[in-house]
Structure 1
């Protein structure tokens, strides 16, 4: 049908202008007022083009999809834009000639615009699905209003009614398409802004770490030197073990500084075959004192046939951070289960399960983000570095948690075959 071709032409014109706005203006425009002026101008141009290329049903009835830019402009830009676009429609229709169509346009605008303006504030505050529903309801209302006034002014005929029904269905589909498209574009822009913000935060971390790394390392190296001097042969084996753990922890702190300096860049480390159970026993000894002081018991189940390619120091750093978080999630004490076992899919599973406060799905999704932490004095850097270490080992992490029940970190690392 020729009417459908005309509607598709109008749709193409609107689509070009909408994409022009979102591609060339939204990202470049710095001020909100400038964006509104540009969007209003493009909406007005869309209306003029739709009315210029309208479809003629007969000698006295013509239809177009001006409702689409009018409705979207009112809902997304504001009430002033809606009134401005309504004025453009009336003035241009007046320019085309005073007839029954002109009066139909005025009556339809006067009947529909109050509803548009009323729902505009609700639309702005609503979420994606609610916005789409409001836009669809208002588009149907506008079309039915225009159809009603047309029937009152001109009477009804079967051919005109058929075209008007096609017109209504076409507009509803187009409004749904454009509203969904705009909402998706807004979500993408918001995510891009969040990514840019996080990238800026990571850059700040890198700058601050570079500034303070030298000053932090100096006292650490001095402390390490004195610990080595204290490690005399006459000391008991227990004290020698404590000194060794202290030196290892200083070395781990120095490695954390290196990780922060290299965060976001490819990390080249020399991996070697290591036995996971042995490393877990080492980590358990390091964290045991901290666990006991927090009234936390660590229960372990280790399978000895668990070999992986990894850097022992970095693997221990990641596991200690996760265990420390598990201990701190149990302010009243409890039990942590630390296990490792080979899986049939060629991976080694390391599990850290606690009886802590648990997390929501939203909190789990944000873990590893810079500056995101569930602790009042936390920075989130420990978890960020830990997850990156696991990713660099070609591993993955699965987190299962329930509020007030506990959390389980399941770490999967490729097994040496």
Structure 2
């Protein structure tokens, strides 16, 4: 028995070593990890093939391995495609390693359906909740196996079953902690990069914006005075274009100043339902000019704690972007509702041009915009305001089909 446990411990060392190599040498975001060709999936296959080809033999009848570990991790962290691909490799490997293929396929078909059903639940929790969920799911295997052994009367085998299951569960929990720690480090790194960019923008705004605004105001004033003189049609057109471009530059400078300016206004309880309706009314004429229809369905009495003018600025900016993405003859759907977890979700959907995954990742970064004359500061400011209020923005889009902005804010009630 002790020799078998030692063999199991060698499997543990190999599995943890493989995960550590992945964590140290490979950098993959969560969305990349969900691809079947990802480095994470390759690591799962290495673990799966190794543990099935080198099972621990307790007796001629009973064999133990860790194949359940890569299957669970593939489903939970790699997604359904990676999970089913791992099961397919498991069945292929099972043809050469001895277990009865029909029994293996039956057991893991049931287990896969269970994993699919708890994936969304697993992702809702933080690390402790995730460990509890996956522990309860895994324990179904040794419990059912233990009942079978009790009925059979094989007591020594039950003792080893308990020992091996404890080792496998401890390994699974350790891997979950490693992966969650890696995810947290990636998030912190992205946060630091974003903060550095914001600091650069803030410093630039503080040092340049005020100096640039004064001469621009003077130039604009002289341009307006020139319009009172007798001018040719072309000269008048050139002056109008110059004034428009000066106003656009002024708007960009104001956005820089908004990013640089620390928020000093006290938080207040805001009637979010009213703010959403006001924002829609402000943009309604702009939408009509572009033959765009705005549909809205907003729950009554929604309240948040934050800054009224700022959240209205966020809504107007995103609705304006949606209108410009459609260009003409489209539809925008706006809805807001309070979820069971106390978070208010505001959805702004359009059926415009849409975006690629790479474009979505870059959205919100200073200086990046999908518009020809955009600076990217508008969405950067939106992210900045929503984050100050304890929320975040989720963007989903499909090229040539449309985009959905999901603004999530904590409820004030």
Please report the TM-score for the alignment, with normalisation by the length of structure 2.
0.49
Q: Which has the larger radius of gyration?
A: 1
TM (norm. structure 1) is 0.48
